[in-house]
Amino acid sequence: MRLVVIGVNHKTAPVALRERLAFVGNDLNTALTELKVFTDGSVIVSTCNRTEIYVLVPQSVPQLASTESSPNNSSATMTAATDEHIITIKKWLAKFKNIAVSEIEPFLYVHRDTHALTHWLRVAAGLDSMILGEPQILGQIKQAVHLSQTEHAVSSQLGWLIDQVFAAAKRVRNETNVGAQAVSLGFAAAKLVTQIFDNLPSRTLLVVAAGEMNRLVTMHIAGLGVGRIIICNRSPERAEALAAELRQANRSVEVRRLDELPQLLAEADIVSSCSGSMAVLIDKNMTAQALKSRRYQPMLMIDLAVPRDIDSTISRMDDVYLYSIDDLQHVIAGNLEQRRQAAVDAELLVSQLVVEMERQFQVRKVGAHIQQYRTNTHVQVQQLLTATLKQVENGEVDTEAAIIELSRQLTQTLTHAPSKLMRKAAREGDSQLLDFVVSGLHDSYRKRR
């Protein structure tokens, strides 16, 4: 298959080295352009915790041009050719990043052929992620592929493999539960929202404090299509920064003062709070007044703060669903265990899909060889036919003799390749191949009679 994956081991590589080996901005475009010179297609996946180069290597390299290739050593020659290409890519990477090969070598891993295809599918399906089953990596791979296509770095053969990987990854996610449960605070919070509310464009999200944890939860909930977002924060600058990020996705966002919280609470269907305050920000009386103003429409409150921002006794009130960070982490822990169990099924399916893809690849590869063989045979037949017709037209031979000679030449042409293959099988003692060719030819002869 000649597929090779070279990646940076983010578990062992120092942070500084990982940062230097990452591909960002114009680096990616330039790298893909350079890789085209000595590969048959490439894709570079570079994320916050993953740097991998996926390439199809050519069947031979200049260094092996003098190596004699015989039927007995063709496999060894191909392996040696792949080894040479791997060395070439490592040297290119080191030069491109202006780092010595000896400095990066201990922190690189390499997968080839079946192992490379298995790795790519596991990555695309979220089985090789820090968070098991997370879906973002598939989107990141698709972005990387799109960039490679834009730079004309995806060959037809690599493009076919990419299509197979995407289709297989979709099957893994659809046919197993590896990505079914929320395993991050943001996903868990968003899942709660969808379980409690419908018609999300009509709902209001109140964000109390704009710290990083609350930002992540807010981005997930906003991504569900919540119609209105209100941000309360002591620091107007941080609130405006989050508001600007949300507005880029065309969200309706308001920034309000923290002292307006009692009035704003009545407008909120969903509250996410993580202030770092030592005192409770939302108490029972404030919530009771808000519910009364809302005519007791249900509210979801998510308290991510330690110590708590929201009075824990509110959980006993009707029409309020209160979840603390401990509650969410218990949910996540249970979901992670379910994902781990589902991962066993997913890994088995990956193995089956890789075998299926390799079989399809071989059929596709043989199909190309068959087409080439037919084309060459057609050319030979046309040459013989043209020469025969010319002899007849020039009166060099009578028609009957020309037809007899043409039949003899066509028989030699059409039987040359299978005869050569049978002799080779017999000479090398490959009885299985010999029996297969002989039985196939006999079957073909019987069907034509």
Residue type, 48: C
- Across-strand partners of 302? 272, 323
Q: Based on the residue annotation, tell me whether 48 is a catalytic residue of this protein.
A: yes
Burial class (CB in 10 A: 0-12, 13-18, 19+), 381: middle
Task: Measure CA of the first residue to CA of the last residue in the chain; give whole Å.
Answer: 39
Instruction: Compute the distance between CA of residue 87 and CA of residue 57 in angstroms, rounded to an integer.
Output: 12
CB 211 within 8 A of CB 188: no
Of 286, 273, 305, 256, the closest CA to residue 208 belongs to 273
Measured CA angle at 307 (ends 305, 308), to 5 deg: 60
Collapsed DSSP state (helix, strand, coil) of residue 321 = strand
Q: From the candidates 12, 48, 385, 420, give the one annotated as an active-site residue.
A: 48
Task: Determine if the peptide bond prior to 307 is cis (ω within 30°).
Answer: yes
Burial 149-182 (b: 16+ CB within 10 A, else e): eebebbbebbeebbebbbebbebbbeebbbbebb
Query: Which region holds residue 254: left if phi is over 0, alpha if psi is between -120 and 50, else beta?
Result: beta
DSSP 8-state secondary structure symbol assigned to residue 310: B
> For the CA atoms of the chain, what is the radius of gyration?
33
Instruction: Compute the distance between CA of residue 140 and CA of residue 134 in angstroms, rounded to an integer.
Output: 12
Q: Quick one: CA torsion of 272, 277, 279, 283, rounded to 10 degrees? A: -10
Residue type, 409: Q
Instruction: Compute the distance between CA of residue 201 and CA of residue 221 in angstroms, rounded to an integer.
Output: 11
The catalytic site residues sit at 48
